[in-house]
Structure 1
């Protein structure tokens, strides 16, 4: 609790924290309401619900080579600020396209809004790295995981409640309002220039195609030269598969197997139970980071979550299904907090944007491929249980892979840090 109190004494961090919270809220409520709107309107065509999730992930593949370079070369605060304002404007445009009712145009606007939002996180994450101390990174990762837990706990419920009360139009207007609040919080921050512009001042006109691809390739070389980062990147690719499957499969399980008549109500309960598991797991993980090694937390979390997700596929009733998903959700924060606290300490602040510029597209590529595969094969080829086998199996396999490589790479990384520290002291003497 002392660590949480200390970190919230940093005014800039508090504003960035709540800006991230409200920006995520702007994505969650409208997207959830829109998915249930499509499930109601096109009940016999689950393809549309999957396509909605695709419009959240695919845009990364269109802008992946830009987001990291922008975050490292341009003013990070302005990037986050303008992302929110443009997203708010596009939410209004999205509302108008839904009123028109032409679905290709609706998905095109959803695609564009999602593409703009992809620039927000690398810039915001890099600013947080710059304003916090090294020992605060794990605490910040824990707080981010708590926020994620709150969204899982209340996000779907709020989205469905808003959809029931004011409809999909009201939900999207709520989106626009939360983006505006986030933008105002970003603007009120007093971020030092060396954090906003770690590589010096550049204008948008300076970022020609040659420079963009040079920086993007530099990020790839940086990752490949650091074996620990490379190993973590393999895991991120598989996490995209998990995100893609998990974004639709619990709802599909309820709608098409367990609770076809009342899946909306049970979806709220599912969100509450899953979010509660993530919240409890977040507090436990935050305590464990002080006592055991981060890579051990990652491996344990992957194996716990993977095992219970596979077990959930065999559920014969809704109660068993919810209990098993609660157990699976408990393991996820162990992974997220450990990686979230680890990454800033092993990545050069001047390279954070470009490293994130590789992580996000890899995750979104695998997420998009997974969602595309589900859209084409479910329910004709793939049964809902198979989705759980695929996702749980991926988590368990990564857990086994990490148990083989991370202990050695961590030891080698720690030895390199000690050697560098001794050389630095010798030079200073």
Structure 2
């Protein structure tokens, strides 16, 4: 292993960085969950990337189909948001993550069959269902990692997760497009199936204590009533509302949904409809490499900064730089200028993601993590779905591709100033007593 890389990642001396990374991966449960996250992301990325380019090729003058694909990926969160966090806090978290992967593998097979039979509407329905199931994976897997690691390892784990995301940005889209070119959309979906199955076996092989898997006691699905689910959901809201620091952070996620919705389509759109209309697929691969490389380097930078800066200062820096870079990317007239703007955004986004990912688990009580995630995901997906709907209806007739960049960049800048103004007021606030709130509910 190249320890110089890990030294840069941890921001420590050679010996200190080596010991810390060895300690993290000596935890076999963490190693398996880490690899499960990688393979599950592979299952959720490659086929969807290929499908978007399949639709752009087949319906060249109808970009609405590509946008609808992303919409089918985000809307399901709003259908299951009441259940996601409650399941992660009440049921066996390991089984939730395991069944999510294996059910998604089966749905991917149905996705493949629907395309073979040329049933496009059925394909969209299967994507919707698969996305709904995947919504249960992240809160359960995140809560498991939180339970098996000490607090001092949260920031490093967040940095490693950001590194995985950057690698998927670097290789995921490129692999998806390459597989699409080589063996078609069918081959890409088969890769999805394989990724989900491997992830499921990795999660199944973990040996995690019952206290981590079910920190709120033993429940089963039959014991969860509509009244109980709603009560748990309300407790999550009460916890967030009483914890002003957490409430401020989560308020920003509503705007992050707009950012996610715009980023999911606007790079392909600016290539196809402005910069490189003929060779947009080739440049999409190149831009994916540039963006992924930038995020990978930014992840190293962010992990170093996490040792030297306060995390809320890092968040503000990441938001403002990425916001300005995104606005600038919408003003360019040449592909080279766009590459420069893209590189700036790629370098700065990990500063936000690592600081937020490392800080949030340390703020939230383990027994409340699922309920909190159960509020974050629907807030993000609500604004993301609205954004994608507006893009589907308005682009390109009423909304120019440049406008997308200005709106997304403006949102990042807005949240940066919001956090700068509000977070310092609550930085030393004590978290509410989660156990007291849960006892009050039981009464």
Tell me, yes or no, whether TM beats 0.5.
Answer: yes
Superposed, 1:69-80 pairs within 5 Å as: 69-80=86-97
Q: Offset of 1:305 from its aligned partner?
A: 0.2
Unaligned runs of 5+ in 2: 1-6, 8-16, 432-443
- Which of 343, 350, 364 pairs up with 1:347? 364
Q: Offset of 1:5 from its aligned partner?
A: 2.8
Query: TM-score, normalising length from structure 2?
Result: 0.93
Is 1:331 aligned to residue 348 of structure 2?
yes
RMSD over equivalenced CA pairs, Å: 0.8
Q: Offset of 1:323 from its aligned partner?
A: 1.2
Is 1:106 aligned to residue 91 of structure 2?
no
Match of 1:373 in 2: 390
Q: Offset of 1:407 from its aligned partner?
A: 1.5
Q: Offset of 1:94 from its aligned partner?
A: 0.5
Match of 2:414 in 1: 397
Superposed, 1:277-292 pairs within 5 Å as: 277-292=294-309
Structure 1 residues 233-271: Cα deviation after superposition (integer angstroms, max 9, x where no partner): 111111110000000001100000000000000000111
Is 1:409 aligned to residue 433 of structure 2?
no
Match of 1:49 in 2: 66
Superposed, 1:286-325 pairs within 5 Å as: 286-325=303-342
Match of 1:245 in 2: 262
Unaligned runs of 5+ in 1: 418-429
Superposed, 1:148-227 pairs within 5 Å as: 148-227=165-244
Structure 1 residues 313-355: Cα deviation after superposition (integer angstroms, max 9, x where no partner): 1111101101111101111111111111111111010000000
Q: Which runs of 4+ in 1 moved over 4 A?
A: none
Query: TM-score, normalising length from structure 1?
Result: 0.96
Structure 1 residues 202-233: Cα deviation after superposition (integer angstroms, max 9, x where no partner): 11000110000000111000000100110001
- Which of 96, 100, 116 pairs up with 2:133? 116
Match of 1:140 in 2: 157
Match of 1:25 in 2: 42
Query: What CA distance in whole angstroms lies between the structure 1 residues aligned with 2:203 and 2:410?
Result: 40
Q: Offset of 1:8 from its aligned partner?
A: 1.2
Query: What CA distance in whole angstroms lies between the structure 1 residues aligned with 2:63 and 2:180?
Result: 18
Query: What CA distance in whole angstroms lies between the structure 1 residues aligned with 2:291 and 2:259?
Result: 15
Structure 1 residues 145-196: Cα deviation after superposition (integer angstroms, max 9, x where no partner): 0001001111110000010111001100110010000000000000111000
- Aligned residue pairs, count: 414
What SS does the aligned partner of 1:79 have?
Answer: helix
Query: What CA distance in whole angstroms lies between the structure 1 residues aligned with 2:255 and 2:290?
Result: 24
Structure 1 residues 94-113: Cα deviation after superposition (integer angstroms, max 9, x where no partner): 10111111222111111001
Query: What CA distance in whole angstroms lies between the structure 2 residues aligned with 1:85 and 1:184?
Result: 9
Is 1:268 aligned to residue 282 of structure 2?
no
Match of 2:75 in 1: 58
Query: What CA distance in whole angstroms lies between the structure 2 residues aligned with 1:92 and 1:55?
Result: 17
Q: Offset of 1:26 from its aligned partner?
A: 0.3
